[in-house]
Structure 1
Amino acid sequence: MGWDIGGAHVKAVLLDKRGSVEQFQQRACPLWLGLDHLETAMTAVLNGFNITSSQVLHAVTMTGELVDLFENRHEGVLEISTFVDQLLKKNVRYYCMSDEGDAPYFISIADVEKSTGVIASANWHASASLLAQQLPSALLVDIGSTTTDIIIINDGKVVSGPLTDAERMQQDTLVYTGVVRTPVMAVAQKLIFDKVETNVAAEYFATMADVYRLTQELPEAVDMAETADGEPKTILASARRLARMVGYDMESKPLESWQQLAQDCRRKQCDQIQLAMTKHLKQGMTVVGTGAGVFLVEAIAQTMQTPYVSVASALRHHESLGVCFSSYAVARLAYARGAV
């Protein structure tokens, strides 16, 4: 069983004895509010799979160590892994990134304290390592609810380069923008509304989930975060929140106006991601899309006129598995290595 423990979601994939996907789930998990939320989410996953933790062997990757519940990433990895090990009855191995060209590996809880640097935020590496076994040359683009990972695969190997979040942010291989939780104010400071350029309020009035509800592109299954005002996730409520970003009441304009504003915000986010992709895309590479925002990856690839395939198609799985690809990847890698 593979787990990806994030700061806002827990993703899990259960494999059968042949290594094929049996079930997969994503659960909301506001980890910054406490480890009890992690327990709730993981227990719900196990109950949803109708198994106990001792019935299966577990492979774990994580990004949740970054939340401000923890003093630093080292402590975050230690606390999460200790908690997970106890919850899953010690049938656990933790995914570790490797230097470029070397194979990733798995360790037990006994070795975690000295390895937190290669455990922290390693889910992107697991995804790319599995994909590299199928596609020798690719640019993997994983647009999630909060961030976008851009990973180069060359000659069947992950071109990992910098491994830490800080270094990856500097290199534009980690772009802090996603299709659900990202505030609109983080995507655009100016937008075109009614053919006039207008400033955007520096307020947490709306998120990109509002934008993609208005464009009708956001799958309900990934729309798990709370709204900015605590109100429903309807198109009209989303329009009301987006209207506040440009100083209007929703009722002052027709719905089509707010949908057009959402389209301009969408363009801003696509431009940001495309700029980062352009820095890393080489001739002959196929863009491979995954994540909650896989629909954006395909659209950007079309704009760039570059070959595109979804990760689910590349690996011949159902498209909905793409949201849980990192947990599938860590499960498959562990299964192949007999790591657990």
Structure 2
Amino acid sequence: MKNSNHNDIYIAWDIGGAYTKYAIEQNSQVRCYVQKCELWKNFFELKDLISRILKKFKNKKIINLITMSGEMCDIFENREIGVKKIINHFKSLKSTSYIFTKNKLFFDIKSNNFSVNNIASMNWIATSNFLANRVENCIGIDIGSTTTDIILIKNNKIINRRINDFTGLINHELLYSGILRTPIYALTHEIKYRNKKYKIIPENFANMSDIYRLLAYLKPAYDYSSTSDNRSKSNINNMKRLSRIFGFDYHSTKKDLLFMLSKKIFTIHMDHISSNIKYHLQQKYVKTKDLKIVGIGIGKFLIRLICKKNNWRYIDFNEYCTHKTVGIYQPSDIAPAYSLIPLLSNYEKNT
């Protein structure tokens, strides 16, 4: 890595199960991408995506930096097989590739000098290390399409107890709720409105993207998941999908009701995330001064609203990013992938 120069192309990959996010650095400029890539269906889509991107720079030296969570997809028998399958594909390429591990180390992918357990679903560690190098005390909240990662930094050290998804879940550091693909029944089974109960059918008739789309919180660039019925994302279709989860058919007379029920679900989602932040504040930050809550991911707008409601200090992840960025997406939208680039720079300086 010491032989790298400013003409090299760095491509930082965060390989997920439904979306692959990547950042391309060239001449100190970064462009961020979110690409639908349904690894859970087959491996071909990922191979094709990587091939198409690398071909754009076929006359340049390419350095891949890799982290992942897609190894958990059910096309793989287990996570170990998933990690090895992804790594073996990068090994087969002519470009240079480095894998990021939870020990903050980058290993040449051809060296085999790494543990699968230090790679599987460790993309959040990249973001955590990026923040720990820049913020003394913070709680980073990365809300994506399906999950929420809670990153705990104290005295510039990562204090998460999470070592895998299982420990992340039981320690309130990984929440399976996001802005787009989360089914509504994952958050609540009934709503009370005007002294009436509205039961929520536990079927995939609608998801949280319908809520945030109807309430006008979801920007088109971030509305990249498919709808539950594969129909359009118009307000009428949003309301039709939402009507189904309550057990009635859509009619124009129900517009106001659906809007108010959506606001109730929005509040439940906010409270769900708030309660987990408060848990960590009480457990780990009671005497901590100058604590910041860092908003990350396509759902960072929700963190900004939560901070305003609770009078917490909010900082956008992008404020810590020094690269010139171009394009639709920002570093905060693909934080694990973006973080690999400055982390590599720090690693090179210290080795």
| TM-score normalised per structure 1 | 0.91
Contact 1:97–1:119 under 8 Å retained in 2: yes
Change (3 A) 1:178 1:210: same
Instruction: Name which of structure 1's ranges 22-31 and 172-181 shifts more when overlaid on structure 2.
Output: 22-31
Alignment of 1:154-233 (within 5 A): 154-193=154-193, 196-233=196-233
Change (3 A) 1:12 1:278: same
Equivalent position of 2:68 in the other structure: 62
Take 2:192 and 2:37, find their aligned partners in 1: how far apart are those partners?
35
Corresponding position: 1:153 with 2:159: no
Gaps of 5+ in 2: 1-10
Take 1:167 and 1:53, find their aligned partners in 2: how far apart are those partners?
44
Deviation string 1:47-91 (CA, Å, 9 cap, x unpaired) is 6xx4239632111000001111111111111111112332x4241
Take 1:218 and 1:80, find their aligned partners in 2: how far apart are those partners?
32
Equivalent position of 1:294 in the other structure: 300
Change (3 A) 1:52 1:277: farther
- Percent identity at matched positions? 28
Contact 1:143–1:293 under 8 Å retained in 2: yes
Alignment of 1:10-25 (within 5 A): 10-17=20-27, 20-25=28-33
Equivalent position of 2:265 in the other structure: 265
Corresponding position: 1:94 with 2:87: no
Contact 1:240–1:250 under 8 Å retained in 2: yes
> Shift of the alpha carbon at 1:113?
7.8
Corresponding position: 1:324 with 2:334: yes
Instruction: Name which of structure 1's ranges 112-121 and 306-315 shifts more when overlaid on structure 2.
Output: 112-121
Equivalent position of 1:133 in the other structure: 133
Change (3 A) 1:272 1:53: farther
Q: Which amino acid counterpart does residue 98 of structure 2 have in structure 1? A: R
Take 1:187 and 1:175, find their aligned partners in 2: how far apart are those partners?
11
Corresponding position: 1:5 with 2:11: no
More helix by share: 1
Corresponding position: 1:77 with 2:87: no
Q: Secondary structure at the match of 1:253?
A: helix
Equivalent position of 2:3 in the other structure: none
Take 2:139 and 2:73, find their aligned partners in 1: how far apart are those partners?
28
> Shift of the alpha carbon at 1:314?
3.3
Contact 1:12–1:45 under 8 Å retained in 2: no
Q: Which amino acid counterpart does residue 219 of structure 2 have in structure 1? A: P
Alignment length, in residue pairs? 330
Instruction: Name which of structure 1's ranges 287-296 and 106-115 shifts more when overlaid on structure 2.
Output: 106-115
Q: Secondary structure at the match of 1:172?
A: coil
Equivalent position of 1:237 in the other structure: 237
Equivalent position of 1:101 in the other structure: none
Contact 1:142–1:294 under 8 Å retained in 2: yes
Change (3 A) 1:113 1:176: farther
Equivalent position of 1:31 in the other structure: 39
Q: Secondary structure at the match of 2:191?
A: strand
Contact 2:107–2:113 under 8 Å retained in 1: no
Take 1:146 and 1:159, find their aligned partners in 2: how far apart are those partners?
24
Q: Which amino acid counterpart does residue 26 of structure 1 have in structure 2? A: V
Q: Which amino acid counterpart does residue 287 of structure 1 have in structure 2? A: I
Change (3 A) 1:301 1:315: same
Change (3 A) 1:152 1:53: farther
> Shift of the alpha carbon at 1:220?
1.6
Contact 2:149–2:173 under 8 Å retained in 1: yes
> Shift of the alpha carbon at 1:15?
1.6
Take 2:200 and 2:343, find their aligned partners in 1: how far apart are those partners?
44
Gaps of 5+ in 1: 99-103
Take 2:120 and 2:168, find their aligned partners in 1: how far apart are those partners?
13
Change (3 A) 1:262 1:46: farther
Contact 2:61–2:95 under 8 Å retained in 1: no
Q: Which amino acid counterpart does residue 304 of structure 1 have in structure 2? A: N
Take 2:61 and 2:145, find their aligned partners in 1: how far apart are those partners?
31
Take 1:35 and 1:67, find their aligned partners in 2: how far apart are those partners?
10
Take 1:222 and 1:53, find their aligned partners in 2: how far apart are those partners?
32
Take 1:120 and 1:229, find their aligned partners in 2: how far apart are those partners?
32
Take 2:83 and 2:300, find their aligned partners in 1: how far apart are those partners?
28
Take 1:256 and 1:146, find their aligned partners in 2: how far apart are those partners?
27
Identify the match of residue 51 of structure 1 among 38, 51, 57. 57
Q: Secondary structure at the match of 2:75?
A: coil
Change (3 A) 1:53 1:8: farther
Q: Secondary structure at the match of 1:31?
A: coil
Contact 2:32–2:330 under 8 Å retained in 1: no
Q: Secondary structure at the match of 2:206?
A: coil
